[in-house]
């Protein structure tokens, strides 16, 4: 663990509409691309914190400018996503459904949501 600590640094990410994300961690992955149609450069970075949380940072520049960050943590099998202002906690199954929905897999999402709503109403 001592060797891993040397790779960690104090990181401060500027975020629009909320307080800065400040944490001890390291960059895990990053990518960027340019959308010629809309004139927007997008950069995405994934960080891993000293507590094994993940920070997803998205910066868009050009015609649309924004800086957003999301912290994903897991405790006792419950995933919590925090954007600096609000948080949501999800079971692994609900997180999978949310991700499928965001990725456009509508045909996979609707039956799962119907099943869960049926269980809640029972």
Q: Whats the size of the chain, residue-wise?
A: 122
- Please state the pTM of the whole predicted model: 0.76
| Domain span including residue 118 | 92-122
pLDDT tens digits, 51-86? 999 999 999 998 778 999 999 999 999 999 999 899
**Range 1-21 average pLDDT:** 82
Residues 58 and 37 in one domain: yes
Residues 73 and 38 occupy one common structural domain:
yes
* Alpha carbons 58 and 33: distance in angstroms, whole number: 12
**Do 99 and 45 fall within a single domain?**
no
Tokens read off for 87: 């948080």
Q: Give me Rg for the CA atoms of the chain.
A: 17
């Amino acid at each position: 663990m001592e060797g891993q600590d040397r790779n960690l640094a104090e990181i401060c990410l500027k975020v629009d509409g909320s307080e800065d994300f400040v944490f001890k961690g390291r960059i895990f992955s990053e990518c960027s691309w340019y959308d010629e149609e809309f004139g927007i450069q997008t950069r995405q970075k994934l960080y891993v914190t000293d507590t094994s949380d993940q920070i997803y940072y998205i910066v868009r520049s050009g015609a649309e400018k924004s800086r957003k960050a999301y912290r994903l943590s897991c405790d006792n099998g419950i995933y919590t996503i925090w954007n600096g202002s609000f948080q949501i906690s999800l079971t692994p199954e609900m997180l999978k459904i949310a991700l499928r929905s965001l990725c456009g897999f509508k045909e996979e999402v609707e039956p799962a949501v119907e099943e869960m709503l049926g269980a809640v109403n029972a």
